[in-house]
Structure 1
Amino acid sequence: MKPFSRSLISWLGLLAAAVQSTTAQETSEAVALDAVVVTANRSDLTLFQQVQPTNLLIGKDLQYKLQPTLGETLDREPGVSSTSFGPGASRPVVRGLGDDRVRILQNGTSVLDVSNVSPDHAVAVDPLTIRSVEVVRGPATLLYGPNTIGGVVNVIDDRIPQERFSGTYPSGKFATSVGSADDLFSQSGAITWGSGPLVFHLDGFNRETDDIEIPGYARSAALRKADPLPAGEEEAHGTLPNSATHSKGAGLGGSYIWDSGFLGFSYSGVDSTYGTVAEPDVTIGLSQRRWDMRGAVYTPAPWIKEINFKLGYSDYDHTEFEGSEVGTKFLIEGYDGRIELLHEKIGVLEGAFGFESQYNEFSALGEEAFLPQVDNSVNSVFVFEEIPVDQLRFQFGARYDHQSSETKADASFGPGLSRDFDGFSTSGGIVWQPVEDYAVALSLAYTQRPPTYVELFADGPHVATGTFEVGDADLDTEDSLSLDLSVRKRSGRVTGSVSGFYYRFTDFVSAQPTGGVDPDEGLPIYAYQALPADFWGGEVETTFHLLEPVTAPPVADAKGGVLEPATVSAHRLDLILRADYVNAENRDTGEPIPRIPPFRTSLALDYGNGPFSARLEGQYAASQHRHADYELPTDSYFLVNAGVGYNVKFGDVRTNFYVKGVNLTDEEARQSTSFLKDIAPIAGRGVVAGITAEF
């Protein structure tokens, strides 16, 4: 039991549940659309001006949505769901596309883990350590590669400072929280200090949870009916077995900053142990040690606006323990480096061009290894340009990638193989502002994605997914054509955006059942195949500003005296509507693509008055009956969340007290995007209480 008992946390639940305290200015959708992001943006454009639909989580918004994994933290964002492989491992799924079609970056370079190899592998970034998350929906292929057709998720931290420290004393942030549904106990902290051109940053975190509480049975009604347990065995009920987690990590960085640039380095590590849920006695121990370098030189020549460079190096290992015995080990060591040159305006053109190089050595060792040792390298060049013309902004560019994958000879997998791929991607877009506060964005992209080493060389039992996977070394590039249309409004009583998309794949690579069963493992055989596929859908994110803060100056009489005092109303009330939908199917047969999210919508009332805030939210997910033949249908669900929060300032310390409750009606909810949906529902009724202090 953690330092706060379940009874105390349950009592706190009577307070309702919490959203962090937020001022009207911080939650204003107009301000949100005026925020500047760094991902896929080389001209300091705001969210309102971007061609790609983009979401930014930062500050108290990030704190409110914070979950133990990156996928669950982003799960409520429009167009974003998660793989939801238990509480310890969850990767974002964007517009129904996951795995290697969504690239996860850490400060603009690859996260360098194996989360794209299997859904039970956690992302090696903990949300407690990050300052913001940027989600770019749609193809961001030009700057970040062909494996971004679904989108880019860029997590940003402060480990390498880019601005001089201006304070006399160190600044920082400390937070702690406790939770009832999983006996959560977490602590995190960060501190920044400096003198002159030198600035340093130190952060750390620790999180522990027990097995999560669930509303009913771990196995779904459909699975219990289709596959009843043998006589004498009892169904897990009330608690999800083997779902406890423990994560900890720290990072240290520093920069030398001068008037025309900066150069910084950081070293960080994360260790995580979590139950796989798929197997009752298997846990995973994850460890990553990472070095990063980032820097920039501003205006080194009259025609160069900026040269920036980044390099990330990672040594990652991941061990699957069967009880106390070491089972399969996954190792990956490599780097990702990129350099970009942003040029000054040349005629009507302004933009950037650059080079990126990636290399990693991957190994899977043990009886259940389903992949041989593979050396992978990708070298890329890209160019991105913009042409602003009055109310229009044209964007276009291209990228060339050369990928090599070479396996080592192995007794289990046979002689070594080598495959080389050349991929070309190009896109064009336009942003039109017909009037001041409205924008229409349209983009068209063509992408060639080389297959991953999993899709090429897999040949063995994959216990996490319950399949025997077989790759195809003769696969060619996955070609796709995508169209994206967005309409945005940034001020007035109603603000927000509406987006629609269509992706047409000619060779969508997917693991398909062959009908055979491996005689040794007893698992169904799935082979990676290329098939024609269509994805289409859209997202809505709208805020109705029902009450807005009002400030009126005092009214003076003829002699200059005050006739009426200043009037101030700090009340703010927003009604926030969000919805998204994806339809994905084999274009030839009309059969659904597996693990696609259903229609989802949410409605929230968000109130603020000075330091106090409150929120009431309902989330609905429709049933998913369009599923692959080997999947079971997923029932609909409706979740109720609510919250209160309060800000207090003690001297120079700003403290936020909050209590938030999730799934207050204790609804059974399962994610259709998860391999584990029929054995692992999401957590039941839970309350989280926390304190955040900044100075």
Structure 2
Amino acid sequence: VSQSGFAVFALEELDFERVKFQFGGRLETQKYRPAFSERGMGEGEDHDHDHVEDDLEEEGHGHEEEEEHHHEPADAIQRTLTGASVSAGVHADTWKDGVFVMNYAHSYRAPALEELYNFGPHAGTLSFEIGDPRLEAETGNGMDFSLRHNAGRVRGEFNVFYYDFDNFIFPFAPGEVEGGLPVIEFTQLDARFVGTEAGLDVAIHPNLWLNLGADFVDAQETVRNTPLPRIPPLRGKIGVDVDYGGFRLTPQLILASQQDQTFTGETRTPGYAVVNLKASYTIARQHLVHQFAVNVFNIGDRLYRNHSSYIKDLAPEIGRGVRFTYTMRFF
């Protein structure tokens, strides 16, 4: 498949000291030209996703057993997609060292090449991917709000967002097997995302900072209000940052709740708590910096799985591991 694209964009900012207004726009076109077609489907054939909606009505959001199927590739038709994205935002000073930020965005995204034309095994996800050459462009409207504070000993940020999508494109597992691999089909449905994230850094001492953070997202398709696949659960982190001279030490505890809000055919993922550690020592010389660092992953050697991973049911996340690095920088 030959792909070519063209885009133009414009940005503008109006600065009134305590208040800034920002505007952006982008116009793009994408062209896909397959070298040949596998079989004919007919240019006038309706494009729908009834098979996805039917699966959403099945109880339990799962399949007792994956069945071997033989799929035929769809006709690799030529596609030309053109659309525009626009955004507008305001950045306003509030209290001392604090700002309020609000953004609106209308987005346009043409289907990616793999979402349209993939047909075959994918080594990275250990699946048999099937694209849909008749996918429509994905469009969305969204708002996000942010409160930020940046003072000498306290830094914090709190964000909330809402996005509504038409024809949201995502990979869907119908519970079938092709060539011994689970089938993944790219499909689309209307969807909405709501979420929040927060971070707080507090200086306990000039050389010691406490770092806190959390994030949560709720994403559903709006046909049956079913959760979308591979959406991360509520997560949090607690860490400290010790910085003295050229030495830096950063232990961190990562927490995640269980994810039982699952899509059709998707399995729940248990929660976990993982401890990581980073340490480094920097030696500065004139025009040269030496840095020795060590990263220790999953110190407790905890067996856990990432709900966002395509292969979470086959492979857990990394166990205990250590990485040493040496970096030399010239300036």
TM-score, normalisation: structure 2: 0.80
Map 1:290-329; keep pairs closer than 5 Å. none
SS at match of 1:597: coil
Counterparts in 2 of 1:632 and 1:415: CA distance versus 1, 3 Å: closer
Counterparts in 2 of 1:687 and 1:458: CA distance versus 1, 3 Å: closer
Task: Find the partner of 2:93 among 424, 433, 439.
Answer: 433
Higher relative contact order (CA 8 A, sep 6+): 1
Stretches of structure 1 that go unaligned for 5 or more consecutive residues are 1-373, 549-571
Map 1:614-629; keep pairs closer than 5 Å. 614-629=249-264
Map 1:387-466; keep pairs closer than 5 Å. 387-410=14-37, 417-462=77-122, 464-465=124-125
**RMSD of aligned residue pairs (Cα, Å):** 2.5
More strand by share: 2
Counterparts in 2 of 1:578 and 1:378: CA distance versus 1, 3 Å: same
In the TM superposition, residue 533 of structure 1 has moved relative to its aligned partner by 0.7
Task: Find the partner of 2:312 among 677, 682, 685.
Answer: 677
State the partner residue of 1:378. Answer: 5
In the TM superposition, residue 514 of structure 1 has moved relative to its aligned partner by 4.6
Deviations 1:61-108 (A, max 9, x none): xxxxxxxxxxxxxxxxxxxxxxxxxxxxxxxxxxxxxxxxxxxxxxxx
State the partner residue of 2:161. Answer: 501
The CA distance in 1 between the partners of 2:292 and 2:177, in whole Å, is 55
The CA distance in 1 between the partners of 2:271 and 2:326, in whole Å, is 34
Matched, 1:583 2:210: no
Matched, 1:479 2:107: no
Contact residue 161 and residue 195 of structure 2 kept, 8 A: yes
Deviations 1:311-333 (A, max 9, x none): xxxxxxxxxxxxxxxxxxxxxxx
Question: Structure 1 counterpart of 2:9, which letter?
Answer: F
Contact residue 102 and residue 146 of structure 2 kept, 8 A: yes
Map 1:655-666; keep pairs closer than 5 Å. 655-666=290-301
State the partner residue of 1:689. Answer: 324
Task: Find the partner of 2:269 among 607, 612, 634.
Answer: 634
The CA distance in 1 between the partners of 2:248 and 2:125, in whole Å, is 43
Question: Structure 2 counterpart of 1:452, which letter?
Answer: A
In the TM superposition, residue 410 of structure 1 has moved relative to its aligned partner by 4.8
Deviations 1:439-481 (A, max 9, x none): 1110001112112232223344546545544433332211111
Stretches of structure 2 that go unaligned for 5 or more consecutive residues are 40-72
The CA distance in 2 between the partners of 1:462 and 1:657, in whole Å, is 37
Map 1:246-257; keep pairs closer than 5 Å. none
Map 1:92-111; keep pairs closer than 5 Å. none
The CA distance in 2 between the partners of 1:387 and 1:509, in whole Å, is 35
Task: Find the partner of 1:532 among 190, 204, 214.
Answer: 190
The CA distance in 1 between the partners of 2:283 and 2:186, in whole Å, is 56
The CA distance in 2 between the partners of 1:578 and 1:397, in whole Å, is 30
Deviations 1:526-571 (A, max 9, x none): 54332111111122121101112xxxxxxxxxxxxxxxxxxxxxxx
Counterparts in 2 of 1:649 and 1:456: CA distance versus 1, 3 Å: closer
Counterparts in 2 of 1:387 and 1:468: CA distance versus 1, 3 Å: same
SS at match of 1:455: helix
Contact residue 408 and residue 417 of structure 1 kept, 8 A: no
The CA distance in 1 between the partners of 2:279 and 2:293, in whole Å, is 6
The CA distance in 2 between the partners of 1:485 and 1:648, in whole Å, is 41
State the partner residue of 1:611. Answer: 246
Map 1:163-242; keep pairs closer than 5 Å. none
State the partner residue of 2:200. Answer: 542
Counterparts in 2 of 1:462 and 1:493: CA distance versus 1, 3 Å: closer
Count how many residue pairs are aligned between Structure 1 and Structure 2.
297
SS at match of 1:574: strand
Contact residue 517 and residue 524 of structure 1 kept, 8 A: yes
Deviations 1:210-229 (A, max 9, x none): xxxxxxxxxxxxxxxxxxxx
- The percentage of aligned residue pairs carrying the same residue is 32
